[in-house]
Amino acid sequence: MNASLRMAIDAAPHIVVTGGAGYIGSHAVVALFAAGYRVTIFDDLRRSHPQVLDGIAAITGEPASLVSVDICDEAALDAAFAQCGQVDAVIHFAAYKSVRESVADPVIYYRNNVGGTVSLIAAMARARCRRLVFSSSCTVYGQPDALPVTEASPMKTAASPYGASKQMCERILRDAQAAKGNTSLSHVVSLRYFNPAGAHPSALIGELPAGTPDNLIPYITQTAAGWRKTLRVFGSDYPTPDGTAIRDYLHVMDLAEAHVAAVELAMRASPGLEEINLGTGIGVSVLQAVAAFEHATGVTVPIEMAPRRPGDIEQIWSSGTRAADKLGWRTVRSIDEMMASAWAWQTRLGSTPPAGV
């Protein structure tokens, strides 16, 4: 890297990304870097793989700057912020995300997702950083009465402790942003993701959950690759055209770019709070997602019908009006690109799963 580029990066706004070695976090780190930001990752790699950092470095041409820290450990967070110097904003991804696991073991979701967010806000206040972009989820709506879901749609009872943990975090952020005390936040942008999928076009980073995937698209790619025998389709008796549940799948690179726009919004002069849906506005059933994968890749996915999964809702998709207004953002990548990139990443991982998967 030449000296003037180095100086430009050193002078750029500095963003801390908690959970930056995770699936969405790693793609956001790459997008922030491409937009000229300086990035430090806070992550203890407990649910990600150290190779993600190599992938980020290979894409950006810079070693990823990582501080290993448990998001629930306030003293460790204080030390991490002290090590970073001036931080202009934080994007907070570090959280657990399995609906199934949250139904089985809710307390770890409340401890890590809610407790971690509270610890982070308190540590940010001590570090004098009051701008936060939060990784929320469409799950905060529960099963909506009307579709597409707008940000004005009521929050129903969450269908899972995971969903409840996101609702609680959003409430905490609203209170912290409205307050004027020692632990208040000045700028908050909560991003309610629909269903991210796909991978960076380099296939150097992508989705690789530890253990058996809960999410549909990695289960599809791992089944297509022969890592898993059959994809179980959870529920074929939903009141949808083909009986399977409907979601709004968006390309993870589109989602990553939304975080750059959200950071820019959080860097504005006047304090504020925004809650914004991020999706395509298109509902896709489980069987349509399988067909889209097969169409994009030419690879067949063996499926079997199975009972509904506890904690699942039947259908949801997004209205993107506020994202367009507030962030100037909409998705630009197709479902074909999403599936092809997910497959390119899966293919790169090889014919047998790495240890721990």
Write out the catalytic residue numbers: 162
Closest residue to ligand UD1, based on beta-carbon distance: 245
CB of 266 to ligand UD1, least distance (A): 21
Q: How far apart are the first and last CA of the chain?
A: 36
41, 101, 136, 225, 322 from 97: Cα distances, Å: 19, 8, 10, 24, 25
CB of 224 to ligand UD1, least distance (A): 13
Determine contact, residues 49/38, Cβ cutoff 8 Å. Answer: no
| Amino acid at site 187 | H
Residue 259 has which token pair? 């975080």
Report d(CA 104, CA 322) in Å as an integer.
Answer: 35
CB of 308 to ligand UD1, least distance (A): 7
Q: How many CB atoms lie within 10 A of CB 4?
A: 8
Q: Which is nearer to ligand UD1, 42 or 234 (CB)?
A: 234
92, 120, 169 from 116: Cα distances, Å: 10, 6, 10
Residues contributing to the site for ligand UD1 (CB under 6 A): 97-99, 137-139, 163, 193, 195, 214-216, 219, 231-234, 245, 247, 286, 309, 312-313, 316
Q: Which is nearer to ligand UD1, 72 or 138 (CB)?
A: 138
Determine contact, residues 312/234, Cβ cutoff 8 Å. Answer: yes
Q: Which is nearer to ligand UD1, 64 or 296 (CB)?
A: 296
Q: Which is nearer to ligand UD1, 253 or 316 (CB)?
A: 316
Sign for the pseudo-dihedral over CA of 284, 287, 290, 296: negative
CB of 135 to ligand UD1, least distance (A): 9
CB of 188 to ligand UD1, least distance (A): 19
Q: How many CB atoms lie within 10 A of CB 86?
A: 11
Strands (E), the chain: 14-18, 38-42, 66-67, 89-92, 131-137, 187-193, 195-197, 231-234, 246-247, 249-251, 272-278, 284-285, 303-306
Q: Which is nearer to ligand UD1, 109 or 329 (CB)?
A: 109
CB of 198 to ligand UD1, least distance (A): 13
Q: Which is nearer to ligand UD1, 14 or 49 (CB)?
A: 49
Q: Which is nearer to ligand UD1, 13 or 144 (CB)?
A: 144
CB of 254 to ligand UD1, least distance (A): 15
DSSP label at residue 113: I
Residue 285 has which token pair? 């059933």
Sign for the pseudo-dihedral over CA of 221, 227, 228, 230: positive
DSSP 3-state assignment of 141? helix
